[in-house]
A and B are shown apart, each in its own frame.
Chain A
Amino acid sequence: KQEVTQIPAALSVPEGENLVLNCSFTDSAIYNLQWFRQDPGKGLTSLLLIQSSQREQTSGRLNASLDKSSGRSTLYIAASQPGDSATYLCAVRPNNNDMRFGAGTRLTVKP
């Protein structure tokens, strides 16, 4: 059964720093991997989706990479801002009928 882990559970950085969030999964046979952002008390907003045939996706200051063979994905945030403070979740699609989420990393960017 696919398990998704995000470490650390919480991260605090000063404004302007570049940072990396980590996601690992136990079974490398995935269809895609998606990164989401969740603000307190709200739903999820999709940030990036990487298909299994892709190695990375970029959107603005965000870059997500995927290494299926090692069961890892990273979300790189450049020049962090206080508005980036949120919980970031990754999710993998192990088959056609399922999607598995990590518990998330709570990011705080201090002014």
Chain B
Amino acid sequence: DVKVTQSSRYLVKRTGEKVFLECVQDMDHENMFWYRQDPGLGLRLIYFSYDVKMKEKGDIPEGYSVSREKKERFSLILESASTNQTSMYLCASSFGAGYFSETQYFGPGTRLLVL
């Protein structure tokens, strides 16, 4: 079974802090994704990566950056956390060169609260 793990289930941070969210997948998938999920809005894509050190902006990249130094690990960075970044963050991975053409496998999510 594909396993996608996220470093924390719950996080509480203060405004202005730098926040790191980590995601690891164990199936040698090429593609990894970061989404945020807010009530009534569904999931929105922040960034994705199709290879080590490669990244592409999604729908809402402002205020975020990402890092993919190893194939299995994709990090989401909030450079200076703000209250409007309070959300559920979901990481996903998929196989293949078609980015979104194959099934995505999701981690359990990190619920971030920024005070």
A: which residues have CB within 8 A of B?
4, 31-32, 34, 36, 41-46, 49, 89, 91, 93, 96-99, 101-104
**Alpha-carbon gap, A4 to B44, bound state (A):** 12
Q: Is the CB of B43 within 8 A of A46?
A: no
Query: Any chain A CB within 8 A of the CB of B78?
Result: no
How many chain B residues touch A (CB < 8 A): the figure is 28
CB distance from A111 to the nearest CB of B (A): 27
CB distance from A51 to the nearest CB of B (A): 8
B: which residues have CB within 8 A of A?
4, 33, 35, 40-45, 48, 56, 58-59, 90, 92, 98-109, 111
**Alpha-carbon gap, A49 to B94, bound state (A):** 13
Given the contacts A96-B98, A96-B99, A43 and B42 also touching, CB distance less than 8 Å? no
- Contacting residues, chain A, for B105 (C-beta < 8 A): 46
Q: Is the CB of A49 within 8 A of B103?
A: yes
Q: Is the CB of B100 within 8 A of A98?
A: yes
Given the contacts A43-B107, A46-B103, A4 and B42 also touching, CB distance less than 8 Å? yes
